[in-house]
Structure 1
């Protein structure tokens, strides 16, 4: 490992880690993103789609992380600093004491997802926790990738990665364009697009058998999907108790993905 001891919070080598909370909120223009925590660091090193640039950890974390850090390419520096220096650089207490910086690289094209049997499609999902949870669910139930419109949150936002349990680092995704264009591309590629909606006239999920290629389309919390998008797809609803028709968007995605996964395993609807 290339260990570099840091004692000064103004060390220029730590520039990617300065005030990470504010930079997350305002967006990064340099193609970098930050990973936080031991679990996501392990995923970044073991199966990530992205190139790691550096690691920044507290002194007390060096020995406990030795097995994970042994996976690092020799040219990747591990910056090690006292906890107070790390907190000063980040701009808030880094209780986990583990950060890493990676590069996004060239984004995937939509064609890279079209061979999948099941896709999760997110439209206007503006909450980072929901995006992260959606990725975790997609990974858990075997989706081949995630397609997001450009209004949805960046899955490589630090909190989204953490909530996804690292799935956002290895599950293929495309974040670009508009929902109406996505639907057309998916349908032309042979996908049956299920628009999740509380409409009473929509088909009930448990009565459906997934097609050979199925895309599950989710809209934002509150307003949900626009009628114009739903009308271009197969409207599907999750049966709920009388007088209640709404659940968290990531939970709705999990239920629909689990149904598709179960059907693919058992061969039944």
Structure 2
């Protein structure tokens, strides 16, 4: 039975999990210290709960209590007027409901490459585990919205896992979760502990490494060798992949631009658009 707790004071210490949600530095510190993340909106909250993340508490306008009644459980549900919620979070929460969720231990890169599942998605036995054949590897993407959008592309197009370099943005940061529409809960992912030699584990696991670059002299992606296991490397929003990762890749690949693109001052796609096109090509039948 849900515990509904009316709140009227934005400074109530029980609501500390939801403080200043747009303050990136504060949220990084607070969420790391308490092992939490925030899910926003009915659909995302449902997906987080269904995937197995424990609920610490919820904060919502009263109109959301009934639609979410079946997932509220025993966690405290703080009910407040919209202006109080805005005073706590620092912005108008149009989706009306927030949940503070407990983070679960992140699997190692080796575990994900061996077929580790997302939280809550546990196969009946090891025979059900399938090693991923197509994965994305993100190097130093720091924009949370872009990371969330890439997870959504991966989930929509069938990519089976995502590996992050040490400096990549947090997929469970509120904006990442929101933009992904909960896809961050469905796609197994892991974070490298060593950027310098981080690609060695992928190659040892049998992956062909394709480095996506805007350089039009690279192999067109649709003509690139596609082995049994392929890892597509994606670089930062501005500079792209580092020279080290480009050198270590088996093949640099590009998405061919139209003949008139340069005349229009367009020499590349943004990382999310490029990811969507690349994932579609990556998942074509062998």
Please give the TM-score of this superposition, normalised by the length of structure 1: 0.89
Question: Equivalents in 2 of 1:58, 1:8: separation in Å?
Answer: 12
Residues 24 and 158, structure 1, Cα contact 8 Å, conserved in 2: no
Question: Equivalents in 1 of 2:191, 2:13: separation in Å?
Answer: 31
> Partner residue of 1:126?
142
Distance 1:91 1:30, change over 3 A: same
3-state DSSP class of the match of 1:262?
coil
> Partner residue of 1:34?
38
1:20 CA drift (Å): 2.0
3-state DSSP class of the match of 2:141?
coil
Count of residues in correspondence between the two structures: 259
Structure 1 unpaired stretches of 5+: none
Residues 44 and 178, structure 2, Cα contact 8 Å, conserved in 1: yes
Question: Equivalents in 2 of 1:49, 1:209: separation in Å?
Answer: 38
Distance 1:225 1:136, change over 3 A: same
Residues 8 and 81, structure 2, Cα contact 8 Å, conserved in 1: no
Matched, 1:216 2:232: yes
1:26 CA drift (Å): 4.7
Structure 2 unpaired stretches of 5+: 114-130
Residues 61 and 81, structure 2, Cα contact 8 Å, conserved in 1: yes
Residues 195 and 218, structure 1, Cα contact 8 Å, conserved in 2: yes
> Partner residue of 1:43?
47
1:142 CA drift (Å): 1.2
- Within a 5 Å distance, the mapping from 1:28-107 to structure 2 comes to 28=31, 29-46=33-50, 48-63=51-66, 65=67, 68-72=68-72, 74-107=73-106
> Partner residue of 1:248?
270
1:200 CA drift (Å): 3.5
The alignment yields a C-alpha RMSD, in angstroms, of: 1.8
Question: Equivalents in 2 of 1:148, 1:172: separation in Å?
Answer: 11
Please give the TM-score of this superposition, normalised by the length of structure 2: 0.84
1:82 CA drift (Å): 1.9
Matched, 1:168 2:171: no
1:25 CA drift (Å): 5.4
Residues 3 and 74, structure 2, Cα contact 8 Å, conserved in 1: no
